[in-house]
């Protein structure tokens, strides 16, 4: 029996979905993470502890494990594991992306430079290092601009600034966020010209250097800042076919410019007056639990499509299902401690809603963007068309009442129980 190595960082939402997909394929699974305690949900899978913060050491540990128990494929599920997966797969002769290409997707400055070399449409950008306050860079990039760390993902630390005072404040805040995330506070930051327009996400798969688009999501809620918290994803896109062709072309061009060849791609683009610009591109699939909004062929999950490709198995029909579908990433309104999410039964009862997952437990801290890196949960819907899906998600979300207490209040109530 083939054995698959899944690299599942401890903070991932996606362990259960990938493990389920692997078992449905009938392959043995070894789960790797940076903390053994994080692997308790793997339901009996073999486990491997890896230093994911050091991809070279992690790849060496994988190669050593493979000497005793060979792997047919290695899949890094989230950003923290993709470079270790590429390095290990290269050393073992497995299907993989070039490590340099993956490294570019993990460093936004390197990504911007690679896209610029290949004339891929993207925002104007300037990097700052050390103790620069960003004002000179903002003058070069143009105002308004977006300040972002080169190493974080999921909109964490991404802040719009409209004038030089806001630039200085945003740079100081992003450096504080980096420090809290365990990153060097003085690492480079990007200042990018703010691109107006609507935002979309492209979900795709690289096969021998060619990009196969699997789905394009509209993001109906405006993402204008000052922070960029994503909420609604709805597919199929309602943009004109000519614009969709541009999105596919620029996503493929960006993936080639970075050097990607195999595996999932998640791209974020802006469309302004029919002109598309590439914002981000990751060598992984869509984050959170958002993949549950997608089904392909005879009911295949996105995870199953990814694993079949990694294992060299054919996907008979990679076409997305005919029904429209979508997901809402439930935002966190303010910092504190989660007391309760009321109205869940009413939300689930809304026509078209297929599921609701609250992913933060009661009594746990909640932190909104730009400091936070988690969503409160996920709502899923299907319908006859994108408008119906969007309506269902908004109606269901309207039934939810999220109660968040200040940390001191929550601890006081806990002591009184």
Domain ranges in the chain are: 3-104, 124-193, 323-417
Residue 11 confidence (pLDDT): 86
Helix (H, G, I), strand (E, B) or coil at 199: strand
Residue 20 confidence (pLDDT): 95
Residue 107 and residue 280 in contact, taking contact as beta carbons nearer than 8 Å: no
Residue 160 confidence (pLDDT): 98
Task: Give the strand pairing for 210-218 and 189-193.
Answer: unpaired
Helix (H, G, I), strand (E, B) or coil at 56: helix
Position of tokens 């029909």? 317
Task: Give the strand pairing for 46-49 and 28-33.
Answer: parallel
β-bridge mates for residue 32, sequence order: 7, 48
Residue 35 and residue 80 in contact, taking contact as beta carbons nearer than 8 Å: no
Helix (H, G, I), strand (E, B) or coil at 156: coil
Per-residue pLDDT of the chain (417 residues; tens, 9 = 90+): 799 999 999 889 999 999 999 999 999 999 999 987 555 455 456 899 999 999 999 999 999 999 999 999 999 999 999 999 999 999 999 999 999 999 999 999 999 999 999 999 999 999 999 889 999 999 999 999 999 999 999 899 999 999 999 999 999 999 999 999 999 988 999 999 999 999 999 999 999 999 999 999 999 999 999 999 999 999 999 999 999 999 999 999 999 999 999 999 999 999 998 899 999 999 999 999 999 999 998 899 999 999 999 999 988 788 999 999 999 999 999 999 999 999 999 999 999 999 999 999 999 999 999 999 999 999 999 999 999 999 999 999 999 999 999 976 654 443 333
Residue 403 confidence (pLDDT): 97
Residue 42 confidence (pLDDT): 52
Task: Give the strand pairing for 28-33 and 3-7.
Answer: parallel
Residue 29 and residue 17 in contact, taking contact as beta carbons nearer than 8 Å: no
Q: Output the pTM of the full model.
A: 0.93
β-bridge mates for residue 271, sequence order: 198, 276
Residue 258 confidence (pLDDT): 98
- Indicate the fold that domain 323-417 takes in CATH: 3.90.600
Residue 35 confidence (pLDDT): 83
Residue 204 and residue 211 in contact, taking contact as beta carbons nearer than 8 Å: yes
Residue 186 confidence (pLDDT): 87
Q: Among the CATH numbers 3.30.1490.20, 3.40.50.720, 3.20.20.70, 3.40.50.11540, which is that of 124-193?
A: 3.30.1490.20
CATH number at 3-104: 3.40.50.20
């Amino acid at each position: 029996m083939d054995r698959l190595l899944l690299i599942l960082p401890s903070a991932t939402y996606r362990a259960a979905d990938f493990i389920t997909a692997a078992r449905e394929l009938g392959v043995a699974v070894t789960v790797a993470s940076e903390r053994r305690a994080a692997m308790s949900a793997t339901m009996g899978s073999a486990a491997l502890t890896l230093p994911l913060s050091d991809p070279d050491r992690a790849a060496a540990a994988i190669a050593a494990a493979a000497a005793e128990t060979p792997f047919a494929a290695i899949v890094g599920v989230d950003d923290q594991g993709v470079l270790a997966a590429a390095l290990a797969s290269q050393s073992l002769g497995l299907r993989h992306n070039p490590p340099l290409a993956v490294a570019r997707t993990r460093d936004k400055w390197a990504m911007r430079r690679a896209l610029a070399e290949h004339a891929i449409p993207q925002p104007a950008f300037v990097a700052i290092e050390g103790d620069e306050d960003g004002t000179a860079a903002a003058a070069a990039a143009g105002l308004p601009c977006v300040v972002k760390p080169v190493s974080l993902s999921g909109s964490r630390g991404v802040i719009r600034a409209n004038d030089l005072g806001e630039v200085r404040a945003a740079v100081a805040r992003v450096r504080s966020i980096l420090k809290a995330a365990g990153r060097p506070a003085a690492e480079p930051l990007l200042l990018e010209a703010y691109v107006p327009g609507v935002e979309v996400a492209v979900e795709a798969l690289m096969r021998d250097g060619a990009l196969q688009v699997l789905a394009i999501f509209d993001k109906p809620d405006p993402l204008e800042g000052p922070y960029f918290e994503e909420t609604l994803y709805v597919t199929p896109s309602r943009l004109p076919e000519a614009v969709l062709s541009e999105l596919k072309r620029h996503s493929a061009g960006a993936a080639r410019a970075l050097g990607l060849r195999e595996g999932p791609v998640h791209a974020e683009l802006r469309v302004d007056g029919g002109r598309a610009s590439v914002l981000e591109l990751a060598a992984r699939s869509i984050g959170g639990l958002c993949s549950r909004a997608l089904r392909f062929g005879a009911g295949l999950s996105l995870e199953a499509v990814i694993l079949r490709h990694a294992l060299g198995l054919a996907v008979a029909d990679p076409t997305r299902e005919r029904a429209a579908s979508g997901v809402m990433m439930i935002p966190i309104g303010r910092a504190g401690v989660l007391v309760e999410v009321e109205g869940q039964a009413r939300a689930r009862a809304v026509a078209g809603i297929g599921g609701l997952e609250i992913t933060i437990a009661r009594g746990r801290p909640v932190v909104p963007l730009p400091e936070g890196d988690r969503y409160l949960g996920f709502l899923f819907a299907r319908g006859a068309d994108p408008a119906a899906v969007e309506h269902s998600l908004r109606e269901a979300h309207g039934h939810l009442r999220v109660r968040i207490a200040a940390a001191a209040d929550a601890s006081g109530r806990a002591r009184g129980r």
